[in-house]
Each structure stands twice: as structure tokens, then as C-alpha cells.
Amino acid sequence: MSELFDGVLAAGPVRDLVGDTAWLQAMLDFEAALALAQAEVGVIPVEHARAIAARCRAEHYSAAEIGARAAGIGNPAGPLVRALTARVGGPAAGHVHLGATSQDVVDTAAVLVTRRAVGALLVDLAACGDLLARLAAEHAATPQAGRTLLQQAPPVTFGFTAAGWLSGIDAAAARLRALGPRLAVQYGGAVGTLAALGDRGPAVLAALARRLDLAEPVLPWHTERGRVGEVAGALAAVCGAVAKTAGDVVLLAQAEVAEVVERGPDGSGGSSTLPHKRNPVAAVAASAAAAQAPGLVATLLANAAHEHQRAAGSWHAEWRPLADLLRCAGSAARWLRTSLERLRVDPDRMRANLDLTGGLLSAERVTAALVDSGVGRLDAHDAVTACCHRFAGPGAPGEGSSDGGASLVDVLAGDPLVGAHLDRAHLARLLDPATGTGNAELFVARALTSREADR
């Protein structure tokens, strides 16, 4: 972690939940639960298990020291077990880490860290969903220019835009929640057979899973890394949904568009050089955090092929990118929440932007109306396209056109084909963006209803 960059790239509670102390505590949680599970099954004395569990507190150990000693064995579990054993002392010390291997400790810790981080991440995503649902409901009928390939297209409503963001965030959150049954304990010993515990091994595994409130796997998953891939995929979906929403906010906040603005605390969004700037910094930071996900996901997936019963290197390659992926997803969600809390919508500017093209963005409706009047689709399309070109001319809409600055209604009404089927009043209604948002309001209602049903 970097104190210099973490304020931007590691915002929110997930940072601490995947830090060194959190990992140490998760490994110690495994050791404590293992001892208590073994006592439950009758493998070790209860008083020994309690003595071990009492010393499984991260504040008793130094992450820096454990990390330095990890180089000698290739993972941090070995030196932590030695330190724990020394602290337990006495007869109970001989029962620390019984029947386990280092990967059991680190894999289970990874699952615990993931579960705790995902819990915090879901809180921020739920808050984002609530804010987006409010925007969708408030602006269900607020006309806004639709945009395709970064150019104006037929109108939508801002509520429809927000509902699209909401759908993506809620779907990503659902994928995270669905991970629950796949977050399984890891306990298999040297090669996954629990041979050191004989026929009591499976009972210890079941008791360990119960104590940690994790799923019990059918068999240890030391080299079957589908679970890691599923976590990576779910976190990637979160980052993708956040990046979509935050990216749109950044575009809509451009000075030339100005349909939304982030209004945060004094000083937020400022520039080190330009006194007039009001940057959407929360959305920018959300985009930056989310943008780190693809490389981290690729690393996790590229190292999914673990050889034989225990891997040489592929397992080790997972540790940092998994923590970093959780961290960047958590930061992305927290920054998006902040952006949406600050967001202010400008319906008047949306209407002004709709009027920039003089009705061109609604021309598709004229084509559809001609088809309804009995004109062939291609003939209708070609006639309306020609009218649009005459209206727009070589410059801005209505400027320098062959029709001397006439309105688009005038140009369409003067066309032999169009004018023969549609009168000026009908054309004016068709070109009014407020009446051309299709089923936007219906889809907003459906999105909100679906969200309430899921909740």
C-alpha cells in the first residue's frame, strides 16, 4: 500500500480489510478455529484448544517480521505458526497447526479476507443503488439527448440513463452475493487427503467449516482454483459497472455538455493551475480505481492452472493481485457512492442540448410515421435523410443550408414525399424531443420494480 496514492486509489473501508493486519488475523482465525474444531471432534484436549485460540490475536505479532521470515519457507504461514507456537508454549503448543499445511492457512485466510471485504463492498454498492434509484424515479420523464458513438441520437430520459446505471450496479452486487456458497474453507494437509488425522479428518473439516461459517468443500481445492476465478469475475463485474457509471458522469459533466455536476466540499474538484475548474473528482477517482481491475483479473486467471496436488508458484502469484483487486473494487465503489451523493442534475441544460440540432435527433420518428402512412421504409428513410442533409448543410444545423436557415419542420413539410403524408403540426409533434422518449418511463418503472422485488 502507498500512503501517497491511497487517498485516491484505496478509498473506503476495504483498504483496511485487506491490509496486513487483516490477513494476519484471518490466518490466526483459521488456527483458532482449527484447534477448537479438533477439540470438538476429540483430536486434542479442549484446554489446549482454548489456549491456542486465546493467543490468536493479530496485535501479538508483527506483520513486518512475519513477512521477512516468509522468504525462508516461501509463504507467511510458516513463520506465523512458529510465532504462535512459541507464544502458546507448554503442552498445548504441540497441537498448533495439527494436520494442516501452509496453503490451508493462507487459502482460508484469503476466503475470510474476501468475505469481509465483499461485505463492506456490498454496503457501498447498496448505497449507490439507492442513490441511482432515487435519480431514476425523480427524472423518469426528464428528456435527455441519447448518445451513440458519442454523437446525439434519439432522446431518452435522464431517469432511463440512471436506470441503466442502476441495473448494472445491482447485477454486479448480485454476483457478489452469489459467491457465498463458493467461499469454502481449505483444510487438506500436505496433499489434500488429511492423512495425518486418519478417519477423523473429514469430521474436523466439517467442524472447521461450521466454526468459520464457511462452506464445506466436497474435497480440498488446493489446485482447483475455480473459486478464485469466480471471485475475480465478480469483482471485475463490479469494476465494470462502476466504470460505466462513473465514465458517463465524467462525460456528462464536461463543460460543453454540463448536464450534471459534482458539488462536493469546498476545494473538491479544483485544479492546481486553473482557478475556474470544477472537476468531477469522485467520478474520476472511481474510474481510475476500476481501471486497475482487468490486469489483476488477468493475473489471477492466468495462474489458475495449478499442477498436481500443490502448485509451485501459481498459488503464490494469487496473493497480491487478489488483495489489490478487492482494494481497487472497494475504492471504485466508495468513490462512485461519493460521486452520486454529490451529483446535481440540470434538466434545463439537458433541454438546451436537445435543441442544439434543431430537431435532427428526432428525425427517425418522421421516417417511422411515413412508414405508418404507407410509404416504403427505404423510400421514407432516403427522403428524410435528404431533408436532414439540406437542413444541416455544410455547417451547424440551420446555418448555410440550401433552404436559407429554414426550420427542419419547414424543410420536411416542403419535401414532396414527406409533405404529401405529414402536415406541419404532425411534424412538429414528431420532432419535439419531449414526446419522443419511447418507452423510457416504462423501463424506468420496470427497473425500480425489479429492484424492490430483489430486495
Rg of the chain on CA atoms, in Å: 30
Give the residue from 304, 309, 324, 316 showing the smallest Cα distance to 75: 316
Pair 337, 131: CB distance under 8 Å: yes
Pair 106, 20: CB distance under 8 Å: no
Q: Which amino acid is at 351?
A: R
CA distance 137 to 43: 59
Q: How many residues does the chain have?
A: 455
**Pure H helices in 178-292:** 201-212, 226-252, 281-290
Pair 185, 111: CB distance under 8 Å: yes
Catalytic-labelled residue, pool 310, 351, 424, 429: 310
CA distance 239 to 14: 14
> Among this protein's residues, is 310 annotated catalytic?
yes
Q: Which amino acid is at 403?
A: D
Catalytic-labelled residue, pool 177, 263, 271, 402: 271
> Among this protein's residues, is 268 annotated catalytic?
no
Share of the chain residues as helix, strand and coil, in percent rounded to the nearest 5: 65, 5, 30
CA distance 168 to 26: 31
Consecutive H or E run containing 87: helix 77-88
Any idea which residues carry the catalytic annotation? 271, 310
